[in-house]
Structure 1
């Protein structure tokens, strides 16, 4: 409230401003404000206008010029806080003179509502600055509209956002949209109100029309521009938006805009031979920016990977126009001209062979480094989590260490949900909360992509509903499955979840669950169709201010690239060896087929419509080609019948599922691949494929003790051959015990729930006959 002298000073300031308002026409204070000159020009220093009147009226008293200007500011502020005046929101946002609305209005207008808002901000994990900005923006709305927090509408929020965006375009700051998420979480909006303002942002959720898709490239020739618009309109009904946008990019940007840039004034599709040849030469290469091993970015030229696609698209344009000219000559005949792209220019067979070679080489370069990448992201996750945990226990201003890293806990405002630290030597600040978030999701993405071979779009669409369990009809054992929703080819499929993948998925769900134990619903954004999809409990999500958002495919790509670059791996040319999400898909297909999985089974798991696509993903190694060719000559007719390259029958699929029943042994699970028998004649204790279960540790210790006793007995009787064999088994048992104890230790540190605790439902087959899939 302030001292008595401060209250008197504020009262005199308010009276001074009211006296100036009395000079304006109108019946109420608000009408006089609206009629004043300062209400029409918020960008000027309106304080000087009122101060000039006060000096002319002899109202300065003993205060000087600076004191008079400060009194004018304070006077208008008191009237705003008390809801005497309500300037429009545009005036409050644009005025160069700022008021402490975020401090005074919560104290005077709706203290309970603002206290609830601040509590919600703390619950959602907003930082101190984000919480302060949210309260300031809500205060601006109340200052302009009046009422309480419960009276704020979605339209009020949109009006403020548009004004803020306009100010941002003019170079002003943008405090974010967190205030809307907080108001929405408090239940102040109708049920059909957008969950996030991103759904109403013009940059999201808008599919450009065919005219806008072409006009964004600013083509100079209007007739050709109109032709391309009409051509895209003809193809629009049969294309999704992503394909339509790609078609516009090829024809308008890479084809015609390139011709206009190099040949100004061109206005006909009939290209002279020299111009056509020059254009095809330019399309064969593109300029890219690559990062060298020392971290520098250099500009270089490389062959365009989709050059054949571009040539095919342009050739299709000319052929379509020629065909349509015979059907609608009045509309298309003027554009029916010879095509500059011949069939021999495309060379689809040669291009496919080169693409296959590039893909295989990329897989062969990255496959040996995949274990190192997995260890790197896992170590980074563990280190970031430990660093964050240590910093959380450290008082602000104190120094702490974790491994070789020494940091000092940063002193920040009270109530911040983020933990910051700084280097004691360089004073560089680090957001440890964000580092832990990035490290965890990078590890999760790498592990899921490696274990499943799914596409990056399918990864971002994984939800809690994707986790199901299948009950085997013969034994009743539960087999965890991962349901992949229809994506590129509209094919849904079920993948068997390995124990390692189950641990990763359980850790993800454990991290994203809210206080009630549920996976929060978020609104995904389809970057290809430029539209928001219904809210789903997606697994790859994190908080972005007050908004829980799905992690985008672009963010995952950037995190994986940063992790790979951090290892400093280089290829044969010395450039950094980057990993893309699709590399894991190729590696998955290569490892699966090389380890004995039949190609038609791999095709189902990969979700390919054609088995040739699956075989194209599998990298070919030189020694494998030689061995495979020799085996082909000797065994093709007997062991590789043509019927293998087909869709599996129900019996084959049942045999594939039954394989997992036969892997169960007393100490755990056998990890041998499908279609292979035990090559060690079942000495499981010595087998490296045995995955021991933590619950079997006492049995394993009993086996070790029994082996020690048998070794002593054999030595007493002089059975030296028996001693050698038992020592081999003893060494294997000790290794298994050490691995199991390490696994138990890591699992205990992470606190991961088991898979069957997080799978939302279980598939139990019916006891009747197997249903016909085509019925």
Structure 2
């Protein structure tokens, strides 16, 4: 099927930001972004700081007219007069110079001790008088008479009133517009909006001007200083986004996460982070990697630097100090290869930590990189002797050292064992995650209805909502009455939903993790069958490992999952938020796209990362209580395990391997066969027979009229397919491969009307497993557990078949103007 045969994605989710920064900007590190967006410098003099007392008193009276009450106005003016009296006793021509000379700015949050000492010296001290005097300082800041430093403004809690004073005296219209945007934006909660307004007030107070004069550098400077003072900067990313959406900063400014992310490093930086002592060897490695750089991608360059610098030469320098030549003696080369091939692991056995030596699985790849390094130097020396010939030396790694036959067999055995141990527990994982999602959603809804301090119950779980003085109002914090453990229900619901979504999409598609995270609203397309006109939903998988895109047919189960994800993201106008994702291999940021796997973090939509997916899988598996077959530790899944399980299950259920190859996106069918965790003789025999039948010429007797006996045998086949709990789906003329153990068979199509019977079978199997364990019938335990897993899978199929139609939410083509 050609790509041109499918419908184009919707217009409502397209990227309309034409000023997105070019690819070269995406690779800059934090220092480069600071150079591009410098903060405004602080100035020593400006007109308002040099006014006389009379003019200043008049401006303060006008600023405090409304909506302040008369008593508050008098207190403010009284405190301001005392503050100006105190400042007048310090040297300086302007109020700013007197403020700096007083030492109050350098004192930070303890600055009130200075006016308190002045009041004591005058014999006029009282706590209330000091409070009025210090509070009035924000009036002077609002009048732009004094500009405290950013550090002074970010210390202490009373300075949160700064927004109110600036709204009255400096830029009421600008702060009002910013506040209205925060209230209208659903992703910006009350507390996030307060953080945004306070940062803007701090910048205006310290740098002058209005809200419209704020620059990106000002915001970055405040955020960095907040992290230095408080070790955190709440909702920092939302501040950049809100200022960009309101037009205060330009649209080409990336998100804060992009600014803080580290881009691609230079070859010199990749080598120098390992502190090579021999400078000539260091320069050689830099020249070699720079020579290889144009022909490889960044992830490959990163692996080469790690293999040659960290694992090869840095290891030699650590164990053989003073080494300066690539011509390694036999004993040194042998010792290095032995160190490389093994590693020391610390495990806990019988309550004690012990160290064991295990094989390093990647040592052959490092040996191959080092051998290629030596051979490249020999080859390049023929072309440029003056540059490379001095470094030519015998390669310490022979071709026999790179024999991979044993490693490939061991890896195949490990992966097959891993797949076989995880395939039977897939129904347990999916059912547990579905239950987790349902319970977390119900708990969050019940928690939102409960008042702080009020207990509530949902699905048999009792919690008590607690009030958090700091945090978004929409957050629901609860405590368990039995364990006193505090839980944020919003986070639990978010993790439960995305764990369910990730597991369902992975097990229904078998895509790679990077392909999963790149699925967007535009990936959903439609194809109309030419004969029947039926619309078939398709999922377009972007090029990844093989640089080839492919199309997957969306099953009803997958359609339900994708529809749920889209409904979670869809705005009232029908669009999905645009987010930028970071390529973790190339360390570059992609253009904004309506990605399906995104979530809201601190008031900002962010793409879900591979690390977060691993966290979700660990949380989902922890709730199942499953343990590994060997060590008894909690069972773990990687995203690639779902890919192996998908291919294994598809081929075992009769899908031809060459079709599975296309679905999986493999270039070689041998890779697909390697993913199938069954004995290869079965697959090879079936596949060769399939090819032979296709290649054979069709005999003429295949087209003759069937005899009565043949026809009755054909009809009898369909009658014999009916079993107690459903219908057998095996092909005509084929025997039962499971010896009529139907509950285990993947070809059994369960009847929804037999759900009660299936529940009885499942409960009976559970009882028999318990009995087998108690009686010591270990020979029957494994078979009973396989049958139990089959019964769980059939019940899950019955539950999924109850869902009839699903609104997939595929975008439609909008009207495009001509030209």
How high is the TM-score relative to the length of structure 2?
A: 0.73
1:582 is matched with which residue: 627, 640, 647? 640
- 1:78 aligns with 139
Are residues 1:198 and 2:257 paired?
yes
1:638 is matched with which residue: 682, 692, 715? 692
2:810 is matched with which residue: 753, 758, 761? 758
- 1:163 aligns with 225
Contact 2:510 2:644 in 1 (8 A): yes
Are residues 1:246 and 2:310 paired?
no
Q: Measure the CA separation in 2 of the matches of 1:423 and 1:372.
A: 26
1:484 is matched with which residue: 541, 544, 566? 541
Contact 1:484 1:493 in 2 (8 A): yes
The Cα of 1:610 is off from its aligned counterpart by 1.8
- 2:83 aligns with 17
Q: Measure the CA separation in 2 of the matches of 1:101 and 1:12.
A: 19
Q: Measure the CA separation in 2 of the matches of 1:77 and 1:740.
A: 67
Contact 1:374 1:443 in 2 (8 A): yes
- 2:465 aligns with 409
Alignment of structure 1 residues 664-743 onto 2, 5 Å: none
- 2:520 aligns with 463
- 1:395 aligns with 451
Are residues 1:101 and 2:154 paired?
no
Contact 1:391 1:400 in 2 (8 A): yes
Q: 1:504 to 1:739 in 2, by over 3 A?
A: closer
Residue deviations 1:681-706, cap 9 Å, x none?
xxxxxx98769999xxxxxxxxxxxx
**Residue aligned with 1:368, SS:** coil
Q: 1:304 to 1:398 in 2, by over 3 A?
A: same
Higher RCO, 1 vs 2 (CA within 8 Å, ≥6 residues apart) = 2
Contact 2:563 2:807 in 1 (8 A): yes
Q: Measure the CA separation in 2 of the matches of 1:106 and 1:536.
A: 37
- 1:773 aligns with none
The Cα of 1:392 is off from its aligned counterpart by 2.1
The Cα of 1:125 is off from its aligned counterpart by 3.6
Are residues 1:498 and 2:555 paired?
yes
Q: Which runs of 5+ in 1 are unaligned?
A: 644-669, 681-686, 695-737, 763-775
Q: 1:394 to 1:45 in 2, by over 3 A?
A: closer
- 2:269 aligns with 212
Residue deviations 1:401-444, cap 9 Å, x none?
12342101223469712222111234322111111110011011
Contact 1:236 1:244 in 2 (8 A): yes
Q: 1:114 to 1:679 in 2, by over 3 A?
A: farther
2:573 is matched with which residue: 516, 528, 531? 516
Q: Measure the CA separation in 1 of the matches of 2:136 and 2:344.
A: 61
Q: 1:85 to 1:237 in 2, by over 3 A?
A: same
Are residues 1:278 and 2:338 paired?
no
Residue deviations 1:589-616, cap 9 Å, x none?
1122222222222222111122222222
- 1:718 aligns with none
Are residues 1:187 and 2:247 paired?
yes
Contact 1:325 1:332 in 2 (8 A): yes
Q: Measure the CA separation in 1 of the matches of 2:695 and 2:397.
A: 42
Contact 2:189 2:603 in 1 (8 A): no
Residue deviations 1:462-519, cap 9 Å, x none?
0000001111101111111100011112110001111100000000101111232211
- 1:89 aligns with 150
Are residues 1:601 and 2:653 paired?
no
Contact 1:522 1:548 in 2 (8 A): yes
Contact 1:421 1:432 in 2 (8 A): yes
Contact 2:475 2:490 in 1 (8 A): yes
Q: Measure the CA separation in 2 of the matches of 1:641 and 1:291.
A: 58
Q: 1:630 to 1:181 in 2, by over 3 A?
A: closer
Q: 1:742 to 1:329 in 2, by over 3 A?
A: closer
Q: Measure the CA separation in 2 of the matches of 1:345 and 1:427.
A: 58
Q: Measure the CA separation in 2 of the matches of 1:740 and 1:454.
A: 22
Contact 1:42 1:94 in 2 (8 A): no
The Cα of 1:326 is off from its aligned counterpart by 2.5
Residue deviations 1:180-206, cap 9 Å, x none?
222223333223333x122222x34x2
Residue deviations 1:550-585, cap 9 Å, x none?
111110112112212332222223233210000111
Q: 1:112 to 1:638 in 2, by over 3 A?
A: same
Contact 2:751 2:798 in 1 (8 A): no
- 1:132 aligns with 194
Q: Measure the CA separation in 2 of the matches of 1:293 and 1:137.
A: 55
How high is the TM-score relative to the length of structure 1?
A: 0.77
Alignment of structure 1 residues 604-643 onto 2, 5 Å: 604-621=662-679, 625=681, 627=682, 635=689, 638-639=692-693
Q: Measure the CA separation in 1 of the matches of 2:797 and 2:281.
A: 70
Are residues 1:541 and 2:598 paired?
yes
The Cα of 1:24 is off from its aligned counterpart by 5.1
Q: Measure the CA separation in 2 of the matches of 1:346 and 1:554.
A: 32
Residue deviations 1:333-357, cap 9 Å, x none?
2221122222111212222222222
**Residue aligned with 1:233, SS:** helix
Contact 1:291 1:576 in 2 (8 A): no
Q: 1:112 to 1:457 in 2, by over 3 A?
A: same
Q: Measure the CA separation in 2 of the matches of 1:125 and 1:82.
A: 33
Q: Measure the CA separation in 1 of the matches of 2:528 and 2:405.
A: 46
2:426 is matched with which residue: 343, 363, 370? 370
**Residue aligned with 1:462, SS:** coil
Are residues 1:474 and 2:531 paired?
yes
Q: 1:743 to 1:272 in 2, by over 3 A?
A: closer
Q: 1:336 to 1:424 in 2, by over 3 A?
A: same
Q: Measure the CA separation in 2 of the matches of 1:293 and 1:185.
A: 59
Q: 1:415 to 1:567 in 2, by over 3 A?
A: closer
Q: Measure the CA separation in 2 of the matches of 1:460 and 1:410.
A: 35
Contact 1:467 1:480 in 2 (8 A): yes
The worse-fitting range, judged by mean Cα deviation, of 512-521 and 321-330 is: 321-330
Contact 1:561 1:580 in 2 (8 A): no
- 2:757 aligns with none
The Cα of 1:320 is off from its aligned counterpart by 1.2
Q: Which runs of 5+ in 2 are unaligned?
A: 1-66, 698-725, 736-745, 754-794, 815-819
**Residue aligned with 2:425, SS:** helix
CA RMSD of aligned residues (A): 3.8
Contact 1:43 1:96 in 2 (8 A): no
- 2:53 aligns with none
**Residue aligned with 1:480, SS:** strand
- 2:326 aligns with 269
Residue deviations 1:201-251, cap 9 Å, x none?
2x34x2100011111122222222211111110111011111111111111
The Cα of 1:637 is off from its aligned counterpart by 7.4
The Cα of 1:21 is off from its aligned counterpart by 3.6
Contact 1:102 1:137 in 2 (8 A): no
Contact 2:505 2:558 in 1 (8 A): yes
**Residue aligned with 1:758, SS:** coil
The Cα of 1:297 is off from its aligned counterpart by 10
The worse-fitting range, judged by mean Cα deviation, of 512-521 and 411-420 is: 411-420
Q: 1:504 to 1:600 in 2, by over 3 A?
A: same
Contact 1:469 1:759 in 2 (8 A): no
Alignment of structure 1 residues 45-56 onto 2, 5 Å: 45-49=110-114
Q: 1:44 to 1:386 in 2, by over 3 A?
A: closer
